[in-house]
């Protein structure tokens, strides 16, 4: 398979190819990083790209799989998460200037669960400032809908919708307080799930409304969404 074709596979298709060793996690990660470099300047879907960390994690996943330590369907899959979720050693801005230098010393539970499933974190995705819904201020550049650059990819998980639809990650996480998973999924032609309250931990997630905040997947297919939710639930 040509490496440039890898980002256009669904997460479940890529998972099967990684499990059978027809595609390596390093190949997949490099393919996504290359596409991010080529495309994202038009979309502003990422705030932070974790190139070195992603490649290191991909090499580790490749070694684990080659030695028979396959951990499941997300092992070696390149993913990205909304910049509302703490990531150990990686800045977490909450879409704001005030927190532009905040570097957590631990992962949000959902990020830790993705990592424990073997997923590769490509980076942190753009969002409305403080996850504030239809905000007009985006300190890291206004995200654009990949289907029409003049249009909104949905708020506040804007980058999660744009990056997933533009094949800049295999699957992603967003956060929904009043529609911020369902909106970007709808605007970008994707599948999004707002899980039932308590299904997914919110520890390490910047909050907007404690009784409504919900973390969930934004993916290209229903199967990809289910696979992602299965890892974080």
Catalytic annotation, residues: 82, 156, 180
- Peptide bond between residue 156 and the one before it cis (omega within 30 degrees of 0): yes
The two structure tokens encoding residue 53: 């960390």
The two structure tokens encoding residue 16: 């099967």
Q: What are phi and psi of 50, to 5 degrees?
A: -100, 60
The two structure tokens encoding residue 11: 């997460």
Q: Which long-range contacts (CB under 8 A, 24 or more apart) does 178-183 make?
A: 178/133, 178/212, 179/133, 180/128, 180/131, 180/133, 180/154, 180/155, 180/156, 181/157, 181/214, 181/216, 181/217, 181/218, 183/154, 183/155, 183/157
Angle, in degrees to the nearest 10, between helices 109-116 and 222-232: 110
Contact 27, 6 (CB under 8 A): yes
The two structure tokens encoding residue 125: 């995705």
């Amino acid at each position: 398979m040509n490496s440039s074709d890898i980002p256009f596979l669904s997460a479940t298709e890529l998972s099967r190819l990684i499990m059978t060793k027809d595609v390596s996690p390093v190949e997949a990660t490099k393919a996504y990083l290359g596409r991010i470099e080529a495309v994202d300047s038009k979309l502003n879907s990422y705030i932070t790209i974790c190139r070195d960390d992603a490649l290191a994690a991909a090499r580790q996943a490749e070694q684990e799989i080659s030695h028979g330590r396959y951990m499941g369907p997300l092992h070696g899959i390149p993913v990205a998460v909304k910049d509302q979720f703490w990531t150990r050693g990686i800045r977490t801005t909450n879409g704001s200037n005030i927190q532009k230098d905040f570097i957590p010393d631990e992962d949000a539970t959902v990020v830790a669960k993705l990592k424990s499933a073997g997923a590769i974190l490509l980076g942190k995705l753009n969002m409305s400032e403080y996850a504030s819904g239809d905000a007009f201020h985006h300190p890291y550049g206004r995200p654009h809908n990949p289907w029409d650059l003049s249009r909104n990819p949905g708020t506040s998980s804007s980058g999660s919708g744009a990056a997933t639809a533009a094949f800049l990650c295999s699957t992603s996480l967003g956060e929904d307080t009043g529609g911020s998973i369902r909106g970007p999924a709808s605007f970008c032609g994707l599948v999004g799930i707002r899980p039932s309250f308590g299904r997914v931990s919110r520890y390490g997630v910047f909050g907007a409304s404690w009784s409504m905040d919900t973390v969930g997947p934004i993916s290209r297919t229903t199967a990809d969404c289910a696979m992602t939710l299965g890892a974080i639930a």
